[in-house]
Amino acid sequence: MTTKEMEVVKNLDVEKYMGRWYEIASFPSRNQPKDGVNTRATYTLNQDGTVHVLNETWSGGKRGSIEGTAYKADPKSDEAKLKVKFYIPPFLPIIPIVGDYWVLYIDDDYQYALIGQPSKKYLWILCRQPHLDEEIYNQLVEKAKEVGYDVSKLHKTPQADPPPDGEDAPKDTKGFWWIKSILGK
């Protein structure tokens, strides 16, 4: 089967994209605990045009989070190819880690999105709600498959309904989720 060339959304309305997104499914990553649930991202537009990124996940009943910054990979391009920069370890920000964040698909109402990157090692299906209609989910999976993603690696993220409030759980203030992810747990 031949794969289509990976295309990204053009003229993304960044302001409309801001807000909370729930992770419906993703490829497992060393950067997230394997037992993570209620994973979500909250994006806020900064005055300089960059985006503040807050990624949260619950593991072992505790809320872990990491903050970073997203910005256009090429400020002159109309493509939704972003770079996201985090510092590790999060409790002692020393080392910048930069990754690609490409918006491969978004619906007209900005309610669900398919996010990937050129190496195809990472893939996320995001939604404004903690649950996504199965038919829409399958359409997004098919879009990922068409551009060459191994969708058998997709793992659905357990989401509570209603989702927890960020302050409902004790925080992992020591960054143990990050250490656990390095150890592959």
Give residue-wise pLDDT tens across range 164-182. 876 555 565 445 545 444 4
Other residues' Cβ atoms within 10 Å of the Cβ of residue 75: 7
Amino acid of residue 142: E
- What would you measure as the largest C-alpha separation in the chain, in angstroms? 48
Q: Does 44 map to a domain?
A: yes
Q: Does 175 map to a domain?
A: no
Amino acid of residue 16: K
Q: What tokens were used for 104?
A: 């491969």
Q: Does 151 map to a domain?
A: yes
Rg (CA), the chain: 16
Q: Does 4 map to a domain?
A: no
Reported pTM? 0.88
- Mean per-residue pLDDT over the chain, rounded: 88
Average pLDDT over residues 35-60: 95
Average pLDDT over residues 93-107: 93
Q: Does 31 map to a domain?
A: yes
Percent of the chain with pLDDT over 90: 69
With 70 as the cut, is the pLDDT of residue 116 above it? yes
Residue ranges making up the domain that contains 105? 15-167
Name the residue among 97, 165, 156 with its Cα closest to residue 131: 156
Residues linked to residue 173 through DSSP beta bridges, in sequence order: none
Name the residue among 67, 62, 59 with its Cα closest to residue 34: 59
Give residue-wise pLDDT tens across range 49-75. 999 999 999 998 888 888 999 999 999
Q: 163 or 102: which carries more pLDDT confidence? A: 102
Q: Does 145 map to a domain?
A: yes
Q: Are 130 and 39 in contact (CB under 8 A)?
A: no
Average pLDDT over residues 22-48: 92
pLDDT of residue 168: 55
Band of pLDDT at residue 32, cut at 50, 70 and 90: confident
With 60 as the cut, is the pLDDT of residue 152 above it? yes
Secondary structure (DSSP) of 119-170? TSS-EEEEESSS---HHHHHHHHHHHHHTT--GGG-EEPP--SSPPPTTSS-
Average pLDDT over residues 129-137: 98
CATH number at residue 142: 2.40.128.20
pLDDT of residue 172: 55
Q: Does 182 map to a domain?
A: no
Specify the 3-state DSSP secondary structure of 103.
Answer: strand
With 80 as the cut, is the pLDDT of residue 91 above it? no
With 90 as the cut, is the pLDDT of residue 1 above it? no
Band of pLDDT at residue 184, cut at 50, 70 and 90: very low
Secondary structure (DSSP) of 65-86? EEEEEEEESSTT--B-EEEEEE
Residues linked to residue 52 through DSSP beta bridges, in sequence order: 44, 69
Q: Does 72 map to a domain?
A: yes
- Window from 31-35, 127-131, 169-173 with minimum mean pLDDT: 169-173
Q: What tokens were used for 41?
A: 């991202």
Structural domain count, the chain: 1
Q: Are 132 and 112 in contact (CB under 8 A)?
A: yes
175 Cα distance to chain centroid: 19
